[in-house]
């Protein structure tokens, strides 16, 4: 039997005994009369009510004793013990047991809510496959995914999870990627397509050549991010923790003052003021805040994970809610990042030769432009002729091909080497090529805006983001065109990685009143900006490992619409946190004042403590619901 079921049974037994004791007290059963000659009636009822009190309150009493022994005196367990033992001493037996009963019911609600939030994140943990299958000598053999080396061909049959990232070398099928991206519709994949571990194969057997070891695969990265998510607390959570640390001893001192000081100056009896002090203690318990605030953030992270948005901690969730300026990389973020060659303009050589030289120069690059050029060339390349390849950040590539120095990159690369390049008046991205300091022409490649970029940016604006900016190393004409079509407020083109940092720094310095600046990117060169921004956001499907590692928030697909979802979830979470804080403090303050003036009894105190806690917990659970 689970611990949770045992707790429910214990509380149910305690509640039944409590009801029986209340009925006995109400009826004053004649069966008790023989005992009254030996014991006063209050002692008889104390014995009867003490049974449910101990059944319900034993965990609280034991925990308070352990904490006192460890030197941690002032907490909600201490408050409950002092208040209920005091109530028993004042012969308020039903009230004392009721405090423990409803406190335990509140605990059960808390456990349920926490488990519900944890389950939403634990669903992500189920994506980890325990085995991979390899075909050997005509038989399918099961192996541990940790033991599979890069380049191994694995078999994924219908209904199985893909254990490792790879490329389909044979077969086609439908993949369920909901656990990774939050996308409910299956995705069709074919031979040559890249697929991520954690996806479920729905229809046909496929053969996949692995491209990463298990520790570096998508599923491992997700699990690592999820496990780390709860370790970073939001500023609001830290505030509530500090608040409770000082608040609890202060209210204990005030309760002591209420119990001791007034009787010296008034004609009231001691029991009246002690009763007020006990009511004051029950009301002052900070459970509603201590429980609901972290639970809200935990639920927000769980709700975001359902949409394929991994947030690495509550602090980043809170920061995301305050974002007013968002800076974007262009390629792979606003645009699809899948370039196609649209025009070849040779100078002194044939188009085929210019394309061959460019393809050989870009042979070792994973940049989308390089991939598009190699795809356009199609014919096999003799890479033995290529040597001394050097990538120049923000400019291009320098290498030696068959003894000739080749430069392939943007206009800045040509200008830096004193080569006159033909300036194309076009909205496409241009790759210039020079051989032995002689300009040999240009290749224009064209990228397209993602299908959801325009609508996503519009939604971001509707959510109150005041400024959207594109930072790119591409040409002015290209940046201006993309910014206009996508609906961005500003653009800055021709930037080296350090140039992006300079602009980011200027926006950070201009931010006022706690407003945050976010940066969205996917490449290795975006990592510095992702780290330095208030909230770094990486595209997880096409994003580099460096970008994902540097980011605070990761989208497990490349849909920009996830950004609006993330901002919406973060603001909803913070809004619920504020609701709980205002509601809990408001009700408690009101009843505390009433208790001090003797206008609130123990039952009203129970509502102000447990009732408020339950309402706050139920409100916090709304963060799990994501439309």
CB 618, CB 293: distance < 8 Å: no
Whether pLDDT at 323 is above 90: yes
Which is more confidently placed, 81 or 227?
Answer: 81
Edge-to-edge strand ranges of the sheet holding 187-189 = 187-189, 173-176, 200-201
Q: What is the pLDDT of residue 41?
A: 53
The Cα 240–Cα 243 span in angstroms is: 5
CA distance 313 to 121: 13
Q: Please pick, among 75, 165, 329, 558, the residue that the annotation labels catalytic.
A: 329
Mean pLDDT of 338-358: 89
Here the tokens at position 393 are: 């950040």
| Reported pTM | 0.69
- pLDDT score, position 322: 92
CA gap 557, 309 in Å, rounded: 9
CA distance 410 to 388: 19
Tell me, yes or no, if 502 is annotated catalytic.
no
Strands 535-539 and 187-189: unpaired
Residue 569 confidence class, pLDDT cut points 50, 70, 90: very high
SS3 148: coil
Nearest Cα neighbor of 522 from 497, 558, 562 is 558
**Closest residue by Cα to residue 85 from 277, 269, 240:** 277
Q: Determine contact, residues 470/330, Cβ cutoff 8 Å.
A: yes
pLDDT grade for 241, boundaries at 50, 70 and 90: low
Torsion region of 394: left, alpha or beta (phi above 0 gives left; psi -120 to 50 gives alpha): left
Strand 516-521 and strand 535-539: the pairing is parallel
Find out whether 80 and 285 touch, Cβ atoms under 8 Å: yes
Question: What percentage of the chain has pLDDT greater than the value 90?
Answer: 14
Distance CA 161, CA 471 (A): 38
Report how far residue 189's alpha carbon sits from residue 292's, in angstroms, rounded to the nearest whole number.
43
Task: Give the mean pLDDT of 84-102.
Answer: 80
Q: Which of 13-17, 231-235, 563-567, 579-583 has the lowest mean pLDDT?
A: 231-235
Cα end-to-end distance, the chain, whole Å: 35
Q: Which two tokens stand for residue 346?
A: 């040779």
Phi and psi angles of residue 153, each rounded to the nearest 5 degrees, phi first: -90, 120
The band of 400, judged by pLDDT with boundaries at 50, 70 and 90, is very high
Per the prediction, the chain carries an average pLDDT of: 81
Full set of structural domains in the chain with CATH: 132-227 (2.70.150.10), 340-446 (3.40.1110.10)
Q: Which helix (H) or strand (E) holds 484?
A: helix 476-486
pLDDT at 360: 92
pLDDT of residue 517: 93
In tens, the pLDDT along 108-129 reads 877 776 666 566 555 555 566 7
- In 3D space, the residue among 100, 194, 214 whose CA is nearest the CA of residue 609 turns out to be 100
Half-sphere exposure of 65 (CA within 13 A, CB side): 6
Identify which of 544, 527, 538, 545 has the alpha carbon closest to the alpha carbon of residue 560: 538
DSSP letter string, 339-361: -EEEEEEESSS-HHHHHHHHHHH
User: What pLDDT sits at residue 232?
Assistant: 57
Predicted pLDDT of residue 599: 84
Q: Following CA atoms 457, 459, 465, 469 in sequence, which dihedral angle do they give, to the nearest 10 degrees?
A: 0
Give 438's DSSP letter.
E
Kindly indicate the confidence band of residue 477, based on its pLDDT and cuts at 50, 70 and 90: confident
Q: Whole-angstrom Cα distance, residue 565 to residue 309? A: 8
What does the alpha-carbon distance between residue 214 and residue 212 come to, in Å, rounded to a whole number? 6
pLDDT in tens, 198-216: 788 888 889 999 988 887 7
Identity of the highest mean pLDDT range in 238-242, 265-269, 566-570: 566-570
pLDDT score of 516? 92
Give the residue with greater pLDDT, 354 vs 278.
354
The pLDDT confidence band at residue 324, using thresholds 50, 70 and 90, is very high
pLDDT at residue number 118: 60
273 by DSSP, 3-state: which?
helix
User: Which pLDDT score, from 0 to 100, does residue 526 have?
Assistant: 79
Residue 236's nearest CA partner among 168, 160, 316, 315 is: 315
Rg of the chain on CA atoms, in Å: 33
Task: Decide if 219 contacts 129 (C-beta within 8 A).
Answer: yes
Dmax (CA) for the chain in angstroms is: 121
Q: Check whether 542 has a pLDDT greater than 70.
A: no
Q: Between these two residues, 476 and 515, which has the higher pLDDT value?
A: 515
3-state secondary structure 172-198: CEEEECHHHHCCCCCEEECCCCEECCC
Give the torsion through C-alpha atoms of 349, 352, 354, 359, to 10 deg. -160
């Amino acid at each position: 039997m689970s611990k949770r079921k045992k707790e429910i049974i214990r509380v149910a037994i305690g509640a039944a005994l409590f009801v029986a004791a209340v009925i006995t007290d109400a009826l004053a059963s004649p069966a008790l009369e023989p005992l009254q000659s030996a014991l006063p009636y209050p002692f008889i009822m104390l014995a009867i009510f003490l049974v449910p009190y101990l059944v319900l309150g034993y965990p609280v009493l034991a925990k308070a004793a352990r904490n006192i022994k460890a030197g941690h005196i002032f907490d909600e367990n201490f408050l409950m013990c002092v208040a209920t033992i005091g109530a028993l001493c004042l012969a308020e037996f039903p009230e004392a047991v009721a405090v423990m009963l409803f406190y335990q019911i509140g605990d059960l609600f808390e456990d349920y809510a926490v488990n519900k939030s944890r389950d939403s994140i634990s669903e992500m943990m189920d994506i980890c496959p325990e085995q991979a299958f390899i075909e050997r000598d005509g038989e399918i053999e099961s192996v541990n995914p940790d033991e599979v080396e890069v380049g191994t061909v694995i078999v994924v049959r219908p209904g199985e999870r893909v254990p490792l990232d790879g490329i389909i070398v044979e077969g086609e099928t439908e993949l369920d990627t909901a656990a990774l991206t939050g996308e409910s519709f299956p995705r069709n994949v074919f031979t040559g397509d890249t697929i991520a571990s954690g996806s479920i194969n729905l229809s046909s057997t496929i053969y996949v050549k692995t491209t990463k070891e298990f520790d570096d695969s998508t599923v491992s990265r997700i699990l690592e991010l999820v496990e780390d998510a709860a370790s970073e607390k939001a500023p609001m959570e830290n505030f509530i923790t500090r608040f409770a640390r000082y608040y609890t001893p202060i209210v204990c001192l005030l309760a002591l003052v209420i119990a001791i000081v007034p009787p010296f100056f008034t004609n009231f009896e001691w029991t009246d003021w002690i009763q007020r002090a006990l009511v004051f203690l029950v009301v002052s318990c900070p459970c509603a805040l201590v429980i609901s605030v972290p639970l809200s953030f935990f639920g927000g992270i769980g709700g975001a994970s359902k949409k394929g948005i991994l947030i690495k901690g509550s602090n980043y969730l809170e920061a995301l809610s305050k974002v007013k300026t968002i800076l974007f990389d262009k390629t792979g973020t606003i645009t699809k990042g899948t370039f196609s060659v649209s025009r070849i303009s040779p100078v002194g050589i044939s188009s085929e030769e210019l394309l061959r030289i460019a393809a050989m120069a870009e042979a070792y690059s994973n940049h989308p432009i390089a991939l598009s050029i190699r795809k356009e060339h199609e014919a096999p390349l003799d890479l033995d002729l290529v040597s001394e390849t050097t990538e120049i950040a923000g400019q291009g590539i320098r290498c030696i091909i068959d003894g000739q120095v080749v430069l392939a990159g943007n206009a800045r690369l040509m200008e830096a080497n004193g080569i006159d390049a033909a300036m194309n008046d076009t909205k496409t991205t241009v790759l210039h090529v020079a051989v032995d300091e002689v300009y040999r022409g240009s290749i224009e490649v064209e990228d397209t805006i993602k299908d959801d970029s325009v609508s996503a940016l519009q939604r971001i604006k509707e959510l109150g983001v005041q400024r959207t900016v594109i930072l790119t190393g591409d040409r002015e004409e290209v940046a201006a065109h993309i910014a206009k079509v996508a609906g961005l407020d500003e653009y800055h083109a021709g930037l080296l990685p350090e140039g992006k940092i300079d602009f980011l720094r200027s926006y950070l310095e201009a931010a006022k009143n706690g407003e945050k600046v976010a940066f969205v990117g996917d490449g290795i060169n975006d990592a510095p900006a992702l780290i330095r921004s208030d909230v770094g956001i990486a595209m997880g499907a096409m994003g580099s490992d460096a970008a994902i590692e540097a980011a605070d928030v990761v989208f497990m697909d490349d849909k920009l619409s996830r950004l609006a979802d993330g901002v919406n979830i973060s603001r909803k979470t913070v809004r619920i946190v504020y609701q709980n804080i205002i509601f809990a403090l408001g009700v408690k303050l009101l009843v505390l004042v009433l208790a001090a003036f003797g206008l609130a009894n123990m039952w009203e105190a129970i509502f102000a403590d447990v009732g408020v806690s339950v309402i706050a917990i139920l409100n916090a659970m709304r963060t799990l619901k994501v439309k």
